[in-house]
Amino acid sequence: MKKVILLAAIAISTVGCAQSKEKKEVPKVVADAFAKEYPNTKVAWDIEDDGFEAEFKLNGKDASADYDKNGNKLATEVEVSESELPSSALSYLKTNYPKSKIKETAKIIDSKNVVTYEAEIKIDGKNSDLLFDANGSFLKIVQGD
């Protein structure tokens, strides 16, 4: 029985060590860039293939900021109410997807200060983001899960 417990403990510690070696951490340069722009802000980090996403609250709204590995901010996304979408974006959604309910909406500002809007709806049973430019003109659909 002692051998079984010892083997189990070794196996668990080996798996734990392997996982900790694989676990990526947010580089200090990225965390510092976020802290400089959003001081004293509670943040949760997601590590993505091409960078890092900080999730936080901004003026009481859900927000996220994407950074590359060098700490350069790529974009900021802040939730907005449906009524804050440009009217032409709302018209597009009502005309082309009259039965779809808007689940989430956001305003996105990229590193060049280009504004786009995002509206999440279900298309063919999948969550999809419809992107619009600052004037509300349709840009593209990004299929989700």
Taking residues 93-100, report their average pLDDT: 95
Taking residues 58-62, report their average pLDDT: 95
pLDDT of residue 145: 64
The yes-or-no verdict on residue 18 having pLDDT over 80 is no
Q: What is the tens place of the pLDDT at every residue in 127-136?
A: 999 999 999 9
Strand-pair category, 73-79 with 61-67: antiparallel
Using a pLDDT cut of 90, give the percent of the chain over it. Answer: 77
The structure's pTM equals 0.78
Taking a C-beta distance cutoff of 8 angstroms, is the pair 57, 63 a contact? yes
All structural domains of the chain: 2-143 (3.10.450.360)
How many CB atoms are closer than 10 A to CB 67? Answer: 24
Radius of gyration of the chain (CA): 21
**In sequence order, what are the residues at sequence separation of 6 or more whose Cβ sits closer than 8 angstroms to the Cβ of residue 115?**
107, 108, 109, 133, 134
Q: What is the mean pLDDT of the chain?
A: 86
